[in-house]
């Protein structure tokens, strides 16, 4: 089977070096080498080619921040919508949690290029990740992402054993079978969901399919990072020693 060459930026994203957009920016600045030679935009490479980043690119990556926010109801994850504010507007020095142990000092430049890595509905609360780092975004929301997301979901209605089994595996949305989930009762009116995918309003729609209505939804964990004691509406930096 012949192996076709692919665009260098795509290969760099596949290897988890950076996002495609970052790769193009690094190539443009002359910070990428292929087999020891400075790369050019649009260059194609083979899987066996060696790709190296210059020190400047590594330094730029090291300065990128990832922020964890306990999102309240009424804020949208991404772009502001009519009558609703964007979650990024909460990232202010006043809202910085005083329990932050990252030792990162707030700078206005940390807001530049800060984007949500995954959605949290306007009427949902809890852990929202905003990042400047394309590698983090790819890890959490890339098509091959395997990161678990854990939610506590308050519901109304009757759920049969069969309904609970279907929530774990067997439901379809948008004509596509859902990946297996872990769903169990947390207490008498709250379910605990652990998912590895994130379709639009997925949990609410899953619950509707088994006759439940969601009345409250809170995300408490993404990968190995927990919401913990972070208060509602406050944010903190992801510490250098934390990994999703």
Q: Could you give the dihedral angle defined by the CA atoms of residues 116, 120, 124 and 125, in that order, rounded to the nearest 10 degrees? A: -40
Nearest to 223 by CA among 196, 188, 184, 191: 196
CB 105 within 8 A of CB 236: no
CB 220 within 8 A of CB 151: yes
Name the active-site residue from 83, 121, 123, 174.
121
Which pair of tokens denotes residue 12?
Answer: 């760099």
Start-to-end CA distance of the chain, whole Å, equals: 36
121 is catalytic: yes
Nearest to 39 by CA among 62, 17, 65: 17
Q: Given its phi and psi angles, is residue 240 left (phi above 0), alpha (psi -120 to 50 degrees) or beta? A: alpha
Q: What angle do CA 124, 107, 233 make, to 5 degrees?
A: 20
Sequence-ordered alpha helix ranges (H) in 7-111: 8-14, 20-28, 55-62
| Catalytic residue list | 121
């Amino acid at each position: 089977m012949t192996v076709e060459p692919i665009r260098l930026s795509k290969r760099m994203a596949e290897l988890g070096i950076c996002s495609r957009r970052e790769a193009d920016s690094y190539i443009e600045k002359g910070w990428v080498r292929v087999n020891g030679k400075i790369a050019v935009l649009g260059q194609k490479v083979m899987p066996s080619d060696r790709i190296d980043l210059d020190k400047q690119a590594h330094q730029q990556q090291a300065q990128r921040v990832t922020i964890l926010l306990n999102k309240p109801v009424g804020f949208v994850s991404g772009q502001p919508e009519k009558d609703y504010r964007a979650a990024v507007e909460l990232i202010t020095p006043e809202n910085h949690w005083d329990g932050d142990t990252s030792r990162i000092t707030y700078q206005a430049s940390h807001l530049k290029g800060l984007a949500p890595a995954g959605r949290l509905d306007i009427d949902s609360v809890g852990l929202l990740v905003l990042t400047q780092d394309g590698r983090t975004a790819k890890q959490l929301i890339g098509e091959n992402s395997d990161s678990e997301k854990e939610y506590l979901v308050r519901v109304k209605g009757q759920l049969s054993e069969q309904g609970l089994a279907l929530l774990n595996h067997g439901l379809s949305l948008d004509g596509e079978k859902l990946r297996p989930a872990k769903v169990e009762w947390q207490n008498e009116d709250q379910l605990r969901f652990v998912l590895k995918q994130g379709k639009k309003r997925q949990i609410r729609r899953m619950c509707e399919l088994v006759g439940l209505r969601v009345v409250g939804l809170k995300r408490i964990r993404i990968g190995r990072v927990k919401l913990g004691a972070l208060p509602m509406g406050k944010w903190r930096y992801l510490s250098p020693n934390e990994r999703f």
